[in-house]
Each structure stands twice: as C-alpha cells, then as structure tokens.
Amino acid sequence: MNSPFTIEKITRDIVESIIENPAKPHRHDHEELIIITRGNPSHFVDFKAEVLEPPVMVYIANGKVHNFIPDEETRGWVIRYSSDFIPQSNFNFYSTFIDNIHFQLDCDFCSSTMHDLCEIMLRENELEPVDFKITRHLLLAVLSKLENGTRKQFLDEKVAGNSQLITFNNFLQILEYNYKRPAGVEFYAEKLNMSARNLNLISQSVFGKSITEIIETRKLIEARKLLLSSEKSVSEIGYELGYNEKSYFSRVFHKKTGTTPTTFRKQLHSVIS
C-alpha cells in the first residue's frame, strides 16, 4: 500500500468493472473497512463465504485472505489504511480472536453521519497534498462509532457489568502476550488474582465462550497466519504455539477448522497463486 490511507466510493462503474473482471481471493498488507449501503454482495474470508445484508460493515485485518464479489445493486464505501495509521484500533485487537468481524449498521446513521464522514474523507483524500492529520481524525470518528457497535455485539454490555468487561479485557491483554505458552485457564486466573471458575463464568457471561475456547481460537488464528506466511513446518508451528505433539496440534486444528494444517496450507497457497 503506497498511501497510509485511501477511500473509494463503490459506484455503478466500479461494480460493473469488478463483475466483468472479478478479483481472485487475495491478502493485503493493510486494514480494510467495507461499508455496504445497498445490494447483496458476497464476501469470502478464509474459505468462509456469506451474502451481506445492508447496511453492514465488514472489517478485514492485515493478512486475511478474502474476496469481495458485488452484485449489480451494490453501493457503499471501501476504506483502506495502514496498520500504523490507526495503531490502537480495537478491530485489529478483536480480529486476533474473532474470525470474522462484521455487524449491521443503523439505517439512519449510515444514511446521514456515516455518509457525510465518508464524503468529507473522500474530498480530503483528493486534495494535493493530502493532509493525513485531518483524514486520521475523521477515520478515528468513524472507527469510534463502529467499534462501539462492535463492542456491544461481541462484548454484550447489557449482559455483563462494567467490572466483568474490565476483567475480560484484562484477560485478553494478558492472553496476547502469553497465548503461545502451553498454559490453561488456571494460568490466566492466577494472573488476574481470581479462581479459574470465576474467570470462566465471566468469559461465558461476556463472550459466550469458555477461556479454553478463546485460548485455542487465538492459537489457531496465529497458526493459520503462520501456515500462510511462513515456511515453517506443521510441527514447528505447533511447537511454537505450545503444542508439544504434531498429532495433537493437527487434531485440534482439524476439530476447529474441518481440515488439517497441511491441507489448509495447500488450499490457501493454491488459491493465492
């Protein structure tokens, strides 16, 4: 990505061009937001395809394999930015343990505030030279609103009290530094000065998953990244992520993804090539 920030309006001409020359599944070196206001495009992320219902926002993290296929009525916006342009984005943080981040937008917000902010960013981005301080502030405003909606979807504030959210987010921060360890819920509970039972109860209340499930999800997201971007063997990747036996790593990976690490790597490489 040559520029730290770009924004593009999804118009009829762009849609017709993509339909005539469809892109192949690919991965890129930047973050991407796709905001759909009309139409029913298809979106493919890591071998999982879905039809989007507008108005909706989709976030694609740096390095994710994806493909976007619009229909004739698709309209909206595509925002691309480098990871260091907005380094504190919660989307990037949540993407490490959530496979696919997207959520429905409020129709009034999408047709008014979101539309106006995107139009201003588009005009600013067309100036020479571009003042990236302005576009950064505008993008932060968009992300702030979107992240608030995402947090309510994935971290249900109505279900969990504020203290539980703080504890859960503290767990996620500790997990990010320790997920490669061969450690279970007891390790994280000790770090948070609480019992494993209470930590699991908070996790189930806030996120609907056990601590073990979240740890495994974080490990497997990293495993997929390493299978795609490194030349390390399956055994080396498993060992790096705290699995002492290749067979156990392969069983866990297959249980979660429906395929073995070796098959996953071959499929991804064949798609990208």
Structural domain spans, the chain: 5-154, 162-272
Q: What is the mean pLDDT of residues 21-46?
A: 89
- Residue 114 is classified by DSSP as I
pTM of the model: 0.73
Is the predicted pLDDT of residue 141 greater than 50, yes or no? yes
Architecture of the 5-154 domain: Sandwich (2.60)
Q: Would you say domain 162-272 falls under CATH 3.30.565.10?
A: no
- Report pLDDT digits (tens) over 176-218: 899 999 999 999 999 999 999 999 999 988 778 899 999 998 8
Which tokens belong to 90?
């919660």
Residue 241, pLDDT above cutoff 80: yes
Looking at residues 73-100, what average pLDDT do you find? 80
CB 87 within 8 A of CB 137: no
User: Cβ distance 55 to 36 under 8 Å?
Assistant: yes
What pLDDT is stored for residue 150 in this prediction?
58
Strand ordering across the sheet containing 66-69: 48-51, 42-45, 66-69
Which pLDDT belongs to residue 14? 95
